[in-house]
Structure 1
């Protein structure tokens, strides 16, 4: 038997090789036996894929996105000035001012309600909330300004509430009927309770330091919540005033811009409180 012949798969022969071997019977007949062939398969090496290097964007550190409370404090002061200016323009120019005397136009009494509420519940309360950010000096001075501004806000709110009840009494309208009045009464009640609790815990000399430390986070939380309630009350009051008493397009624009400025002022005050003073 011949040794196996090696051939490649890609070049097969036209006719397989063979040789003649005698048969087992001893006769002259012959049979053909094909030589074994070993097929060698050559595997082509895979091509190396060159990966393109992607441009890696530089990752900014967390310090690039940090913001202190100072920009929000400045923004809040500018918005407070805008709110006060728009309110005075609306009350003095479009509404004709404020009067407590019984006149032919009872709206002069009712105009005192938004004026005192905006100055007290919005501006004074916002400044009181930011007192620890804007007042320079020892902590006792900041605490005194914080407490006095809240007291001024309560006083202005009481005057504004009296103007609303007086107008309803003069005209003959029922009291505490709208959503605005419900929010206003709830806000004033919680505001007074918050002020009394703060006086007992932080000003009264008999308060224990551990009690002050435990109550401080709740005081901050409820203070911001009541301030946001005052913002919502002001927005509903402006919407009610526009739908009920205003018939001039120019006055509507002033009132709407006042509402937007009040909302932005509330957001700036909250950010000024929750953001750190420095990193």
Structure 2
């Protein structure tokens, strides 16, 4: 299935939402939550790395990796390198973000993996890693046989979209979970921080939607463009 429009309008909207989302999560963690740190006596600063790295890394950079294959007017090989590199950065930041959550829990004597958000997070990062390794080996280096690449490409795209949708949904679930804890601890339900967190979650969902729309749209024309097969 493909939309009868070019990817460019969707990718432009996604870029704008990505910038806004990055700013909003940084404002939340730096201004309202007091900052970010890997080592700190205030353990909440360690946790603050988690939403920053997960949103900017796994969601935003991961989304940019997806839409780069449709929106960039360059050769297939150049787009493939950018696609793989951005996904690698997203995966690394996602892993560090998850490690920050574990570190915060361990140093604060809080049990790990007790919530749906945490369960899905582990599943998603594992699937993301498997998807990247498969893509690297089959489509990049050393590269699989032509028959395997052709047969697996639509499934590679579909599985990638599935994992990304899960990641966006889990990010929204994470914002909800954290805000619920904060409101229980005294944060005003209609205060500026609560509104910021909710709007950041909504923006994250819209960003993910525009990323998916770009996948379903027509790629930028290029004479050397043998891009993803239509889903």
TM-score by length of 1: 0.74
2:224 equivalent in structure 1? none
Residue by residue over 1:17-36, the C-alpha shift from the partner in whole angstroms, topping out at 9 and shown as x without a partner, is: xxxxxxxxxxxxxxxxxxxx
Q: Alignment partner for residue 98 of structure 1, among 36, 41, 55?
A: 36
Distance 2:215 2:63 in 1: 10
- What is the total number of aligned residue pairs between the two structures? 214
Whose helix proportion is higher, 1 or 2? 2
Where 2:111 maps in the other structure, the secondary structure is: coil
TM-score by length of 2: 0.89
1:193 equivalent in structure 2? 130
Distance 1:146 1:66 in 2: 23
2:26 equivalent in structure 1? 88
Tell me if 1:140 matches 2:82.
Answer: no
> What are the within-5 Å matches in structure 2 for residues 171-186 of structure 1?
171-186=108-123
Alignment RMSD: 1.5
1:232 equivalent in structure 2? 169
Moved more, 133-142 or 81-90: 133-142
Distance 1:164 1:192 in 2: 19
1:267 equivalent in structure 2? 209
User: Which gives a bigger RCO, structure 1 or 2 (Cα 8 Å, sep 6+)?
Assistant: 2
Could you say if the C-alpha distance between residues 206 and 134 of structure 1 is closer, same or farther in structure 2, counting changes exceeding 3 Å?
closer
Tell me if 1:114 matches 2:51.
Answer: yes
| Structure 1 residue 165, shift from structure 2 partner | 0.4
| Structure 1 residue 133, shift from structure 2 partner | 2.2
| Structure 1 residue 66, shift from structure 2 partner | 4.4
Distance 1:230 1:130 in 2: 16
Whose strand proportion is higher, 1 or 2? 1
